[in-house]
Structure 1
Amino acid sequence: MQEALRDVLRIESLDLSVGPFDWAFARERRADIDDHFEAARRDRPGLWNGRVLLMHQHEIEGSTLRGRYFETDFASFMAWRDFGFPGGEVTNCFALGALRGSDGVYVLGVMSAGTMNPGRIYFPGGTPDLSDVVGAEVDLEASVRREVCEETGLDIVALDIDAGWHCVPAGPMIALLKPMQSRETGAQLRERISANLARETEPELADAYLACATSDIHPMMPGFIEVFLRTVLRSAAD
């Protein structure tokens, strides 16, 4: 087990299920949601109103995160975020791969122009969907492994993957970061990712971004990424 990080929770196990939930926001604001999504698609026609999973209850007990997800449409999720997370009853709990090179450099992705978050800088991963459901359970371990492979083209088998998670609660969001250690340097990983993106017709990432010091924290990073990087990079410098 890795040493616990300051300002970031250490989670060793997940107990996540899925079931029905009547989300008042999606029901009551349907017309506003549909109008908002159509407006977004005029600028980003590649947006797809698929099905995603959000969480309506959760608790952290010791080093275990327990939660219950429900299924909704992407348009409702996007509007909920863009309207300022109204309601206070729902959480976006998602998994990201905290990819790190052999030289200690973290490797993130710059989201492409056609995505929900153009230009934003994240670790690869994202909000779970129906493909992450096994029976009545949500498998975020499988989700983050698949997303890292799809977004970067890296061979997931070649990465040393931590058994646990680092958790950054951020208001209506819970970011679960899975430490993934490569035997290649950050620069080598970026070169591999760039080559993979060049082969794709509609890549989700526009570029890879390297962070090896707190000075590399960028304004296009969301708050939970900044919290994580400040914590791990300061720990490495101590």
Structure 2
Amino acid sequence: MSVDLPRDVVLPVEVIDVRLDPEPHPLEISHKAEIAANWEREIASNPRLFNGTVVLVSEMSYEDGRLTGHCHAARYATFLYWRRHRDVPGTGHFYAHAMLVSSDNALVAIRMAPHTVNAGRIYFAAGSFEPNDFRNGVVDIDYNMRREVKEETGLDLAVAERGVLAYVLSTERGTVIFRRYWMPLSANEIVSRVNAFVAAETDPEISGPVVIHSAADQPDDLLPHMPPLIEWHFSQQRH
């Protein structure tokens, strides 16, 4: 098993055939004690972490616009262990971004809340895939995107124009598949709506929205995979 994609290049995706394997992830079996010990350290540092179910990749490849792979349901503790040991073979993180584009062509990202594992970091609203993001065993990236954007920002992607193609970027930190969604709102209007949603939440996942107006407008605290996505967007036509 391997995760074998070209690194650090944005690639178009026409077909997504990433499947959920019912068997446990090999990492969860082979490193059970280490995962448990690391989880104790993680919750000692941040007691609000929840050991829910996420999805980790065991195999993934890309060829001629086709992204294929196998995923396994795993505990969040397993994912956090992998984050500290990214060189474990046959293991990878696969997640999705809905790239929100305002009517005035700004990108709208989010800053994560202080209690989250990525506290203060900036990226597009996202979360790890979960088993309910798969339809007939195959990942539904747009369902995941709609769910995560709604949960974090209150925005409904049903009002947006969906980009024709998805794209993938693989780095040493993981593999992100993303799609542009053009919102029928200006950046200021999106900011107002997201801020109102966050203010009304008892325990919001994000601190608030972050607007990016150009390829040169890259705020501090961006996660490392974000600059290539920002630069890609502002170099592309609408499609």
For normalisation by structure 1, the TM-score amounts to 0.89
Give 1:37 deviation, angstroms: 1.9
Give the alignment of 1:140-219 within 5 angstroms: 140-219=141-220
Q: Which ranges in structure 2 are unaligned for 5 or more consecutive residues? A: 1-7
Query: Structure 1 residue 91: deviation in Å?
Result: 1.6
Query: RMSD between aligned alpha carbons?
Result: 1.9
Residue correspondence of structure 1 range 1-238 to structure 2 within 5 A: 7-21=9-23, 23-81=25-83, 83-235=84-236
Question: Counterparts of 1:80 and 1:182 in 2: how far apart (Å)?
Answer: 35
Aligned counterparts of 2:136 and 2:65: Cα–Cα separation in 1: 24
1:79 partner SS = helix
State the secondary structure of the residue aligned to 2:225. Answer: helix
1:210 & 1:88 partners in 2: Cα distance?
37
Number of residue pairs aligned between Structure 1 and Structure 2? 230
TM-score by structure 2 length? 0.89
Q: CA deviation at 1:172?
A: 4.9
SS of corresponding position for 1:126: coil
Deviations 1:140-189 (A, max 9, x none): 22111111111110122211112321211113511111111011111210
Q: In the alignment, residue 42 of structure 2 is paired with which amino acid?
A: A
Is the 8 Å Cα contact of residues 9 and 170 (structure 2) preserved in structure 1?
A: no
- One-letter code aligned to 1:8: V
Range with bigger deviation, 137-146 or 210-219: 210-219
- Contact 1:41-1:47 within 8 A present in 2 as well: yes
SS at match of 1:214: coil
- CA distance in structure 2 between the partners assigned to 1:118 and 1:37 by the alignment: 18
1:43-88 alpha-carbon deviations (Å, 9 max, x no partner): 432211111111111221211211111111100101110x231322
In 2: Cα distance, 1:24 partner to 1:162 partner: 35
CA contact (8 A) 1:212 1:233 kept: no
| Alpha carbons of structure 1 residues 167 and 32: separation in structure 2 relative to 1, 3 Å | same
User: Contact 1:13/1:164 (CA < 8 Å) preserved in 2?
Assistant: no
- For 1:87, the aligned partner's letter is V
**Aligned mates of 2:136, 2:235 — CA distance in 1:** 41
- Does the aligned pair in 2 maintain the 1:125–1:144 contact within 8 Å? yes
Q: CA deviation at 1:135?
A: 2.9
- Offset at residue 31 of structure 1 (A): 2.8
Q: Which amino acid is the alignment partner of residue 225 of structure 1?
A: M
Stretch deviating more after TM superposition (127-136 or 106-115)? 127-136
Is the Cα contact below 8 Å between 1:12 and 1:163 reproduced in 2? no
Is the alpha carbon distance of 1:68 and 1:29 closer, same or farther for their aligned partners in structure 2, counting shifts above 3 Å?
Answer: closer
